[in-house]
Amino acid sequence: MPSIISSQLDLYSIKELPESHAWKSSLDDDGSRNINAESIPVIDLNHDHKFVMDTIGHACKTWGAFQIVNHNISHRLLNHMETHGTRLFSLPMQQKLKAARSSDGIAGYGVARISSFFDKLMWSEGFTIFGSPLEHARQLWPYDYNKFCDVIEEYENEMEKLAGRLMGLMLGSLGIAKEDVKWAVGPRSGSSALQLNSYPACPDPDRAMGLAAHTDSTLLTILHQNNTSGLQVFKEGNGWVTVLPLRGALVLNVGDLVHILSNGLYPSVLHRAIVNRTRHRLSVAYLYGPPSGVKISPLSKLVDQRNPQMYRPVTWSEYLGTKAKHFDKALSSVRLCAPRIGFANSKDQSGVQVG
C-alpha cells in the first residue's frame, strides 16, 4: 500500500521519476506509444436517427468506446470546465489538501480510488464531485467559490441530458425502447459523478502510468480531454489504441452496468491514461449511473434459453462497493454463468499491471 506521504507528492515540482512512480523499465516496451492507424469510431449525432443508432450499436459491440461530434455541448462550456479544472489543480498543494477525499469517501481531492490495488503510484491527481461541490469549493477558494459551483452545475445538467440521449440510442440499438426501461425515463437525482483528472508533464513518461487500466463502474462515461493525447483503449487483437483528441469531440465509454444490462453484448471498455514529457493533460469524466435504489440486471428481452442471464441484479452503490473491494474482479463477482467465448472482456483483466 502506498504511504500517505508519497501519495501526496507534488508532481509539478519533481525533476526525476521517483521509484515509487516507476511502473516498468524503459527496456520493455509494450508498444503502447504506437499511434495505431485504427482508432475508435467518430459518430456525428446530426446524422439521421437510424444511422446513428446502428453505428452506435456497432461501436459498442466492437470497441466499447467511440467519439461523438455535434453533441450540442457548447465549446464555451467545455472551455469553462477546462479553465476551472486547470485552476483547481494549479492551487498550492496545501490548499488542495483542504479538500482531500476522506479515507472512506468518494468526493474530494486525491489519488485515484483504484490506487490501493497497485504497488506503484500513478502520475496523476484527481478531484471527484459526487453530490454538491459546495463544501469542497469553499475550502479551495474561501472568497470565490461560486463560479466553480456554477460551471459544475451547468456542466452536469448538460451532460445528464446528453447521457440520457445516448442511453436511449444504445438501448434502441439493442432493440429496446427507452420507454420500456422505467428508470431510463423520468426524474433522476444524485446518480452521476464528475471526475477531474490532472496529469502533470512527466520527466520519464515511458516508465510512468497516468491512470492504470480499468473499466468504469457506470452505465456510460462521457469524457472530455484537453488537446493533449493520453487516453488509450484496449481492443482484443489490436492491443492499446490511442484516442487522439479531436477538437470539440467527446469520448463515450461503455461502463460495467451497460455490460450487465446488455447481458454481455456491449462489453465495458478497458482503458487507461498515459502521460507526456512536456504537456500537462486534463480530462473531465462525467460518470453516469442509474438512479439510486434501481437494481440493474440483464434486460429480459435479451435473455432466453440460448442466452441465459449472465449477471445478478445490483444497484449502483452496491456495485461501487464491489468495485472498491474487488476492482478488476468486480464484474465476474456478480456473474451467474460463464462469459461468452470471444468477448473482449471475457479474459481476466489481471496481468495488465506492469512493474
Ligand X SMILES: O=C(O)CCC(=O)C(=O)O
Burial 46-74 (b: 16+ CB within 10 A, else e): eeeeeebbebbbebbbbbbbbbbeebebe
Q: Which does 265 bind (CB under 5 to 8 A by kind): ligand J5X, Fe ion, ligand X, none?
A: none
Of the candidates 39, 195, 262, 263, which one interacts with ligand J5X according to CB under 6 A? 195
Active site residue 281: yes
Instruction: Name the minimum Å distance from CB 253 to ligand X.
Output: 7
Query: Order of strands, edge to edge, in the sheet holding 192-199?
Result: 42-44, 65-69, 250-254, 220-225, 281-288, 192-199, 125-129, 108-110
**Interface with ligand X (CB under 6 A), residue from 207, 271, 280, 323:** 271
Binding of Fe ion at residue 216 (CB under 5 A)?
A: yes
**Residue 197 C-beta: closest distance to ligand X, Å:** 4
Q: Which helix (H) or strand (E) holds 318?
A: helix 316-326
The dihedral region occupied by 340, where left means phi > 0, alpha psi between -120 and 50, and beta the remainder, is: beta
β-pairing, 42-44 vs 65-69, is parallel
Does residue 128 interact with ligand J5X by CB under 6 A? yes
Residue 114 binding result from Fe ion, ligand J5X, ligand X, none, given CB thresholds of 5 to 8 Å by partner type: ligand J5X
For position 273 contacting ligand J5X by CB under 6 A, the verdict is no
Binding at 323: pick from ligand J5X, ligand X, Fe ion, none (beta carbon under 5-8 Å per type):
ligand J5X
Establish if 294 lies at the interface with ligand J5X (CB under 6 A): no
Q: Which of 287, 288, 293, 289 is nearest to 315 (CA)?
A: 293
Exposure letters 166-191 (e unless 16+ CB within 10 A, then b): bbbbbbbbbebeeeebeebeeebeeb
Helix ranges, 68-210 (H): 75-89, 93-96, 134-140, 146-173
What is the SS3 assignment for 50? helix
- 158 touches ligand J5X (CB under 6 A): no
Q: How far apart, in whole angstroms, are the C-alpha atoms of residue 18 and residue 1?
A: 16
Selected range binding Fe ion among 22-30, 96-104, 148-156, 212-220, rule: CB under 5 A: 212-220
Is 256 near Fe ion (CB under 5 A)? no
Per-residue binding string, ligand X, 171-200, x by CB under 6 A, is ------------------------x-x---
> Could you tell me if 140 and 96 are in contact, meaning their C-beta atoms sit under 8 angstroms apart?
yes
Cell of 277: 514529457
* Binding track, positions 273-292, relative to ligand X; x by CB under 6 A: x---------x-x-------
Shortest separation between residue 218's beta carbon and Fe ion, angstroms: 8
Q: How far apart are CA 291 and CA 268, in angstroms?
A: 19
**What is the distance between the alpha carbons of residues 341 and 355, in angstroms, rounded to a whole number?**
29
Instruction: Please choose which of ligand J5X, Fe ion, ligand X, none residue 230 contacts, taking the beta carbon within 5 to 8 angstroms, the exact cut-off set by kind.
Output: ligand X
- Residue 225 interacting partner from Fe ion, ligand J5X, ligand X, none (CB closer than 5 to 8 Å by kind): ligand X
Chain residues that interact with ligand X, rule: CB under 6 A: 195, 197, 211, 216, 223, 225, 230-231, 271, 273, 283, 285
Residues that bind ligand J5X (CB under 6 A): 106, 112-114, 128, 193, 195, 214, 216-218, 285, 287, 320, 323
Active site residues: 281
